[in-house]
Amino acid sequence: MGVIQLRTSASSPNRWVWILLGGIAIVFLISQMRGCGRDPDGLTFGSKVAIVTVNGPIMDSETWVRQLAMYDERSDVKAIVLRVNSPGGGVAASQEIFAKVGEVNQHKPVVVSMGSVAASGGYYIALRARIIMANRGSVTGSIGVIMEYPVMTSLMEKIGLEMETVKSGPLKDAGSPTRPVSEEDRAYFQDVVGNLYEQFVSDVATYRQLPESEVKVIADGRVYTGVQALELGLVDTLGTFTEAIALAGELGGITGTPKTVRPVERKPLLRDLLLGTMKQIAGEGLKEAPAFRWQWRER
């Protein structure tokens, strides 16, 4: 009985290796292109207007500061539209975005486009832009500071619960919900809120080129429509999001309808999901107790 021998070409394995490597290279190239300057409709090339969107309460600045910095460094981005749809939020976070907008605006024009609401901290971050554009029906202003915290002493009395507090100073537990509010507490918090308010008023006066005395008249916490804000000098012009993009393109020296680019959200990898789960398990039960925050926000 004869022996059947299967013969394979020595070059066959090498051919498949090269095909595999080539496929990997193509996938990598496409992923790099998709992550660099893509709008929802596909790839764009040439000069662009970048869109950075601030949606919701401003409790952390990291994402928006990073996006502004990224587009500041890109040579193909000639201008930035900061689309604001926020009722405000944390004072420090708003100040960090405010500072970054001013820094970027020195290198390339930043145009703010106000959506439905750009109030309190949402208005504050707009102050350093080259142009502030609101819709006629945008709600903006709300220049002021608010601090609030619960007082649960009556509830504790009803359920028979008492708290024993050991502290290093009389104001160390100021704001605690487990004891009555003293006049000293009120004076202390009012002083802090007043200082933050003066910072807000001073920046509005400086960057809107208005006398502080005039700003204080309108900075009583109330909101204004876009039309009212224009009359008061709080915004520069009225217009839509599309018009803001066109204006940014013009300021950036782009001819015709500008192409736009937005940040591409990276989908979480399996590694990220596993690390996130491990962190959640490790941190269970070790969460920081809730605390009050100083906020610039619309009421």
Catalytic positions: 120, 172
How many other C-beta atoms are found inside a 10 Å radius of the C-beta of residue 84?
Answer: 29
Are 280 and 140 in contact, with CB atoms under 8 Å apart?
Answer: no
Amino acid at residue number 241: F
Per-residue DSSP letters for 129-175? SSEEEE-TT-EEE--S-B------HHHHHHHT-------SSTTTTTT
Residue 128, CA atoms < 13 Å, CB-side half-sphere: 21
Q: At what angle do helices 62-73 and 91-105 cross, to 10 degrees?
A: 10
Terminal-residue alpha carbon distance, the chain: 94
CA angle 116, 118, 123 (to 5 degrees): 165
Nearest alpha-carbon partner for 234 in 214, 259, 249, 260:
214
Beta-bridged to residue 237, according to DSSP, are: 133
| One-character DSSP codes across 172-225 | TTTT-TTSPPPHHHHHHHHHHHHHHHHHHHHHHHHHTT--HHHHHHH-SS-EEE
Query: What does the block give as tokens for 261?
Result: 């680019």
Cβ neighbourhood burial of 256 (10 Å; 0-12, 13-18, 19+): exposed
